Chain A
């Protein structure tokens, strides 16, 4: 498939599914309450999906190569993660994470 067409299909399909999720209990299932098992499982969607999204960006390539060689991105991400946990601020998290990465890259 043509790359531009594929991009637009993704935009509309993801946009529509996101919108239906947002609309679900407000309008479509307005008279139903959420099944308890679903409510319980949904609590873990952000933590699990975001972690699955984050790790490959930090640990680029197969894990085996990175255990041996020091990866400044892992160290910077750990520092940023601690800052995020305590400040809950994206500005502080990005600020410390980027600074830590630049410092470590400058030191070689």
Chain B
């Protein structure tokens, strides 16, 4: 059972045998296979990211660098747009950082399940912690009380999503150039984000956070260096938090 872990921990074991052991693990294969339908779901998002990177003038190597290293659709699109708009480096990085703060939430929720694992497994799984992999991993960890099997399952699903992400990004990068501008394919970008944000709008504080951020980003459009994005995001987060406190106090009475 603990085979894949001992080999991952021992520095002398060759990578080839680790891969072979992983492929032999039914948990790993189950996780990989389970994510294939989700790959269809993220395909439009990946395509859009590739198109966005091409529109920002990135070379294909840089576009691949974005999807491999950043590995977060929202951050990739945001970075590409701000680069195209000529925003300064520090503002781009800061804005993407605020957007990525949601990973703190996933990390905290995931931490108890990964406590028993070796450091290397924690570091590898953290890299693969995306919105979709998080949801699948939580399901599996709750279904069976088997942290090691669950970790291999997580690694399988995370790697499936990662592979699918690289492929769809590259297809988007190269195909995006072939599609005529009259198709308004750039409109698919906000649509992908709408698909992410609209289902969240089910309670008052979240709706308020979104509305306030939306109003603020337009109202502050005059700010230089695309600072309106991060400003609106922070204002929206504060508004949602205050509304959440207010609602709690209201329901307690």
Contacts and interface: CB of A to CB of B under 8 A. Distances in A.
Contact of A22 (B45, B127, B188): B127
A50 B221 contact: no
Given A54-B194, A81-B198, A101-B187, A22 B129 contact: yes
B98 A45 contact: yes
Given A48-B237, A85-B201, A25 B104 contact: yes
Interface in B212-253: 212-214, 216-219, 221, 228-229, 232-241, 244-245
A53 B229 contact: yes
Given A4-B59, A63-B218, A10 B191 contact: no
Interface string B111-140: 100110001001101110100000000000
Contacts of A102: 183-184
B217 A19 contact: no
Given A6-B83, A6-B89, A44 B205 contact: yes
B101 to A, nearest CB: 5
A97 B110 contact: no
Contact of B187 (A23, A41, A73): A73
B103 A21 contact: yes
A46 B102 contact: yes
B126 A19 contact: yes
Interface in B85-106: 89, 92-93, 96-106
Contacts of B244: 40, 43-44
Given A26-B125, A53-B77, A48 B199 contact: no
B235 to A, nearest CB: 8
A68 interface: no
Given A4-B62, A14-B96, A43-B206, A26 B102 contact: no
Classify the secondary structure of A's interface with B: helix
Interface in A1-27: 1, 3-4, 6-15, 17-19, 21-27
Nearest to A11: B65
Interface of B: 40-42, 44-45, 56-59, 62, 65-66, 69-72, 74-75, 77-79, 81, 83, 89, 92-93, 96-108, 110-111, 114-115, 119, 122-123, 125-127, 129, 183-184, 186-201, 205-207, 209-214, 216-219, 221, 228-229, 232-241, 244-245
A41 B229 CA distance: 17
Interface of A: 1, 3-4, 6-15, 17-19, 21-27, 30, 33-34, 37-59, 62-63, 73, 76-77, 80-82, 84-85, 88-94, 97-98, 101-102, 105
Nearest to A38: B104
Nearest to B236: A48
Given A45-B237, A77-B190, 12 more contacts: A1-B89, A14-B75, A14-B79, A14-B93, A21-B107, A23-B123, A27-B126, A43-B105, A47-B209, A51-B236, A52-B232, A84-B195
